Amino acid sequence: MTDHRQGPVRSEAARLAILEATARLFLSKGYDHLTMEGIAAEAGVGKQTIYRWWPSKGDVVADCLLDGLLLPDSLRPQDTGDIRADLAAWVAGIFLVLDRPDGEGLLRSIIAAAAGNADVGRRIYEGLGASSSMADRIRKAIAEEGLPADTPVEEVGEAIVGAVILRALSRSPIDEAGARRLVGALLG
Amino acid sequence: MTDHRQGPVRSEAARLAILEATARLFLSKGYDHLTMEGIAAEAGVGKQTIYRWWPSKGDVVADCLLDGLLLPDSLRPQDTGDIRADLAAWVAGIFLVLDRPDGEGLLRSIIAAAAGNADVGRRIYEGLGASSSMADRIRKAIAEEGLPADTPVEEVGEAIVGAVILRALSRSPIDEAGARRLVGALLG
Amino acid sequence: MTDHRQGPVRSEAARLAILEATARLFLSKGYDHLTMEGIAAEAGVGKQTIYRWWPSKGDVVADCLLDGLLLPDSLRPQDTGDIRADLAAWVAGIFLVLDRPDGEGLLRSIIAAAAGNADVGRRIYEGLGASSSMADRIRKAIAEEGLPADTPVEEVGEAIVGAVILRALSRSPIDEAGARRLVGALLG
Amino acid sequence: MTDHRQGPVRSEAARLAILEATARLFLSKGYDHLTMEGIAAEAGVGKQTIYRWWPSKGDVVADCLLDGLLLPDSLRPQDTGDIRADLAAWVAGIFLVLDRPDGEGLLRSIIAAAAGNADVGRRIYEGLGASSSMADRIRKAIAEEGLPADTPVEEVGEAIVGAVILRALSRSPIDEAGARRLVGALLG
DNA sequence: CAATAAGCGAGACGGTACGTCTCGTCTTGCT
DNA sequence: AGCAAGACGAGACGTACCGTCTCGCTTATTG
């Protein structure tokens, strides 16, 4: 006895339309002004189709995040062979991409989503979408650039991402010099 | 020549009632479920009296924060003479006070408020309500406990508070060992 | 091919609840103190459900009037075979039913509604709810009681109803003698 | 022993400013959209100064009416020596001055005021502002134009004004022919 | 000629209702 | 059974006015 139910199966077209509409609206209006009704209308989908598969706005956004529809690929640290310079550049650069001191910066919108939804929060932790690539970069530096082997990779990554988040909340981007001081303090 | 207007003056009683009602509701229900109507009702005040003086919910919360109605005093780091132990204890302890993995942790509620409102964000940065006292604690360690004079105090403080915020968002508190590793990485 | 939309259809239960609640509140509190919120609460209905189908308070009242929920049936003139006596009795009697010199007389409330809403106004004209029956009565008098055939039925009816309205506005009911003089002047 | 209190006496300037502002706003926006706050602002007067002397909006409007600030003088019937023609002309003409089928006709606004306020109602009855002059015109016709002496002057006047009001409420002006039929029915 | 008290402009106050928006659920007819 | 459409009860939004009150100023009468 297989468990084939009768009737149609989940529509992949609807799922995609919803996620893409969500990403579009999130990027243009921010998390706060994103509404379920707006998503349904933008996706050309009944509201019930959203509620059938996702319990809340936050969960839809979490899925967007997971599918990489919200964050650009440019978030992974470069590798020039100088770990300190690469991390400092990442920190200073992220504000150019994700944050505007005024308005609904994308980073702040994601933080708001994370504050309201556990899944989004966990996704963020699993690397600000992509920055577990930061842990990779640090490990590579341990292996090849002479960074001490007992460097606590996780904690260093969290401290960097955390400092960025704090500054995003306070609307005061970290500049080049600040980024170097931060990385210097963490990597000795 | 002072600018004495004629006519009635702002009611201090109403101002206080509003801030206290806001604090009460914020602590019991969190930022998301806080409403202007609820504040007005709880304070025994007309809605217009709130809108007359604060443009949005976030601004009322920001004033609460400023008045110290939201955060306990227990947030300042202790001073046992051992800077690493004191900071690690602060980090591990803050989750006991401000965060519950389930529900609307107070810290996450404040983060949500900060994400939506610039004033709240700035207040947080000016020390998570109280943690500029953390900078003070670090400076004291430079002066008296042999911490290197070139330790970038601001950045270290931000990294610690930022890591805490990141973990609050991801619903995974920092434990004792993690706190020690974090502080160790920052202070060498 | 009829134009069957898909999706839910207007709820007859809600429509009825709204009209009945409106009638109840109109009769107990008058037009001025009737509110959309009050209707919604009394009907156990969301405000949007009212606004979805009626643009304003006046239009809801107009529908009540049309459905006969506001005016009693006793408004049609009697037929004793004496047109003058019947009309005079109707005039004198209407103040007993619809008007109280103090307070929010029902007739004045309907006048207020008519002044503010074209639909209500037209409904009133189409017979004070029922008084086109007055025209019928006059025509019957032409046919059977020897009233001149060139009596301008419409104008006589309007003059009578108009006089009643004017006296309702001025809070001075027409008494028996006045009613007889009025009818006498109109029917010669 | 006169009861002269001490202190300043009622400001005539304020009284006039209020009545004139009320008339201005009434004529431009109608009774419904007239507000006490609007009157105060337009008159450059404190709200309390209005409430000190008039208990409600309706009473201010009633005073305007009494002072002749709302109705033009052109409302008195002409005297060409032909009572029927004069009254018919008055009826047909009044819609040109006071009523527009759409919008907030002045006559309908006054009716609304009368429905909500006893004083306004009585003022209207005392002659639609000026039409007790209509009774004068009818009496003159009795004296000089051979109208029967037992014509019930009051009732005829009320029937005419009432018919006009009814038609104003129903948004269907009386035309020349209708006016002649009405007057004919009333004066034989 | 003070002292006194009322009127005044201004406008904050506790409220009520407005008309709109979004929530999450439910219903309908189509596929 | 899933779907688009969209009505439904609920309730918060931010605004407009209500009628009362308080403030500091001006002005007339009275002791």
Q: Tell me what pLDDT residue A57 has.
A: 95
Give B65's pLDDT tier (boundaries 50, 70, 90). very high
Q: For the segment A131-142, what is each residue's pLDDT rounded down to a tens digit? A: 578 889 999 999
By mean pLDDT, which of B52-61, B164-173, B178-187, C128-137 is the weakest? C128-137
Q: pTM of the prediction?
A: 0.90
- The yes-or-no verdict on residue A79 having pLDDT over 50 is yes
* CB within 8 Å of chain A, chain B residues 65-124: 108-109, 111-112, 114-116, 118, 121-122, 124
By mean pLDDT, which of A76-90, C78-92, C114-128 is the weakest? C114-128
Q: How far, in Å, CA of D89 to CA of D78, rounded?
A: 8
- The yes-or-no verdict on residue B163 having pLDDT over 60 is yes
What DSSP state is assigned to residue A73? G
Q: Tell me what pLDDT residue A188 has.
A: 80
- The yes-or-no verdict on residue C2 having pLDDT over 80 is no
Which residue reads 């914020």 in tokens? Answer: B26
Beta-carbon separation of A125 and B172 below 8 A: yes
Does an H or E element contain A48, and which?
A: helix A47-53
Residues of chain C found within 8 Å of residue D26, distances taken between Cβ atoms: none
Q: What is the DSSP string of B28-63?
A: HHTTTT--HHHHHHHHT--HHHHHHH-SSHHHHHHH
Q: Tell me what pLDDT residue D128 has.
A: 63
List all nucleotides in chain E with at least one atom under 7 A from a protein Cβ.
3-31
What is the average per-residue pLDDT within A88-97? 92
List all nucleotides in chain F with at least one atom under 7 A from a protein Cβ.
1-30
Token output for A22? 């969500």
Kindly give the parts of chain D with pLDDT less than 70.
Answer: 1-4, 102-103, 127-131
Greater pLDDT, D165 or A103:
D165
Amino acid (1-letter code) at residue C154: E
Q: How far, in Å, CA of D8 to CA of D14, rounded?
A: 13
Give B72's pLDDT tier (boundaries 50, 70, 90). confident
| Residue nearest E7 (alpha carbon to C1') | D8
Q: For the segment B78-134, what is each residue's pLDDT rounded down to a tens digit? A: 999 999 999 999 999 999 888 876 667 899 999 999 999 988 998 887 766 445 888
Does an H or E element contain C54, and which?
A: none
What is the average per-residue pLDDT within C142-166? 95
Share of residues in chain A with pLDDT > 90 (%): 72
Cβ atoms B160, B60 nearer than 8 A:
no
Q: How far, in Å, CA of C44 to CA of C27, rounded?
A: 18
What is the average per-residue pLDDT within B125-145? 82
Cβ atoms A149, B105 nearer than 8 A:
no
Q: Tell me what pLDDT residue A103 has.
A: 66
Torsion angle of C-alpha atoms B176, B177, B178, B183, degrees rounded to 10: 90
User: Comparing C-alpha atoms, which of B62, B101, B100 is closest to residue A169?
Assistant: B62
Q: How far, in Å, CA of C24 to CA of B94, rounded?
A: 58
Token output for D153? 């002057």
Q: How far is CA A8 from CA A14, A17, C50, D75, in A?
A: 13, 18, 37, 75
Q: How far is CA B187 from CA A161, B13, B131, in A?
A: 18, 48, 17
Residues of chain B found within 8 Å of residue A115, distances taken between Cβ atoms: 108-109, 111-112, 115, 169
> How many A×B Cβ pairs under 8 Å?
124
B180 to chain A, any CB pair closer than 8 A? The answer is no
Q: Tell me what pLDDT residue D1 has.
A: 44
B162 to chain A, any CB pair closer than 8 A? The answer is yes
- The yes-or-no verdict on residue C42 having pLDDT over 70 is yes
Q: Tell me what pLDDT residue A131 has.
A: 59
Give C152's pLDDT tier (boundaries 50, 70, 90). very high
Give B5's pLDDT tier (boundaries 50, 70, 90). low
Q: Tell me what pLDDT residue C3 has.
A: 57
